[in-house]
Amino acid sequence: MSTTERTGASAGATPPAPEPASVPIKAIRLRHPWRMVFAVLIVVVFALLMIDAAFRPAYDWPSVGKYLFDRRISQAAVVTIALTVYSMVIAIVLGVILAVMRLSPNPVVKSVAWFYLWVFRGTPVYVQLTIWGLISLIYSRIDIGIPFTEPWLSFQTGDLLSLFTIAVIGLSLNEAAYMAEIVRAGLLAVDRGQEEAATALGMSWAQTMTRVILPQSMRVIIPPTGNEVISMLKTTSLVTAVPLSTELFTRSRDISAETFNPIPLLIVASLWYLLFTSILMVGQYFLEKRFARGVGDRQTEKKDPGTATGAFTGVMPVVGSDPPAVIVPPKNAPGGTR
């Protein structure tokens, strides 16, 4: 019966009758015995390590518990966070400026940015921080005014710059070089036609950058910037070179210098770093998800574009007519194709 119905429907002008529902596949699932073996093996090894660590006296868990919420440690954790936040904010702003400079048509501006990157990316951050720590030996006074005349303002460098400020300067100037490359990758990932369209409309280069190119490059810039924040959090432990001693790592070293028991304090510091990076990782996950909108899941997400995207009009690229398939490296640099 059903056969006659089907042929009739496909041959005649009447609307086709619905096909019978397809039969779900009933098959024995492929087994992965080795996965189980390795999983069990890993669990066993891990458990043994844990049990061993729990009873190993060198870890001194009671001390870990004692110092984990020590007032000095939590204060130091706040300093670490402050260093991270200040340095990153300055680095991002500087990085955007440097990246735009590197792509500028002006050869002077371009060279300055290139030189900056060469210096700050080419030397270790620890060395840079040490040099910044000696800044008041190199420049004992800062004068503001016209050269070879009486200065309008004069400061003792040591009075003007606290160790914390010097640490922020050192960290942010170094990080800016890396941020510049991230931002540049983002700018290059934007289709060249965008710049042409803006130019053809009579927009200036600055308008093209700020209104058209930068907003679209955010999608590419955000994920690696999240990585940089996490990296910065850990790099703050190097400011002992300045020497700033109030942040997490140096503070725990100082405490252990008194107690002659370094290992539990290193565990304490590590736990705090882990807590912060975990929080940052959660934040990065949501940020990435938000910025990936319009790229990965364009079809499924917004049913009504007008209302769904209204919330972040202007700042973030929500949809792309020609989105890059991958996030990080720009495949075709502008100017490379012609």
Partner 1 sequence: MSAMNVPMAQSRPEVPMVLAEQVSKSFGSNEVLKSISLEVKRGEVMCLVGPSGSGKSTFLRCINHLEVLSAGRLSVDGELIGYRESHGKLYEMAPKEAAKQRRDIGMVFQRFNLFPHMTALQNVMEAPIRVKGLPKAQVEQTARDLLARVGLAERADYYPAHLSGGQQQRVAIARALAMEPKLMLFDEPTSALDPELVGEVLDVMKGLAKSGMTMIVVTHEMGFAKEVADSLVFMDGGVVVEAGDPDEVLTNPQHRRTQAFLSKVL
**Strand pairing class (141-144; 153-156):** antiparallel
Q: Count how many residues are written for the chain.
A: 338
Give the residue from 62, 61, 66, 63 showing the smallest Cα distance to 50: 61
SS3 content of the chain, % helix, strand, coil (to 5): 70, 0, 30
Query: Looking at beta carbons only, is 39 or 197 nearer to partner 1?
Result: 197
Give the residue from 230, 221, 215, 303 showing the smallest Cα distance to 80: 230
Query: Looking at beta carbons only, is 23 or 325 nearer to partner 1?
Result: 325
Give the one residue of 207, 231, 237, 277 binding partner 1; rule: CB under 8 A.
Answer: 207
Query: Hey, which residues between 41 and 100 contact partner 1 (CB under 8 A)?
Result: none
What x-and-dash track marks residues 259-298 binding partner 1 by CB under 8 A? -----------------------------------x---x
Selected range binding partner 1 among 95-103, 158-166, 195-203, 274-282, rule: CB under 8 A: 195-203
Give the chain's end-to-end CA distance (angstroms, integer).
64
Least separation, in Å, of the C-beta of 105 and partner 1?
Answer: 8
Taking CB under 8 A as the rule, does residue 305 contact partner 1?
yes
Question: Rounded to an integer, what distance in angstroms lies between the CA atom of residue 159 and that of residue 114?
Answer: 32
Contacts of 286 (CB under 8 A, 6+ apart): none
Element (H, E) at 143: strand 141-144
Least separation, in Å, of the C-beta of 5 and partner 1?
Answer: 34
Taking CB under 8 A as the rule, does residue 324 contact partner 1?
no
Structure tokens belonging to residue 61? 């868990």
Least separation, in Å, of the C-beta of 218 and partner 1?
Answer: 9
Taking CB under 8 A as the rule, does residue 237 contact partner 1?
no
Give the one residue of 6, 110, 121, 211 binding partner 1; rule: CB under 8 A.
Answer: 211
Q: What is residue 83's three-state secondary structure? A: helix
Taking CB under 8 A as the rule, does residue 306 contact partner 1?
yes
Binding site for partner 1 (CB under 8 A): 191, 193-194, 196-205, 207, 211-212, 215-216, 294, 298, 305-306, 309, 313-314, 316-323, 338
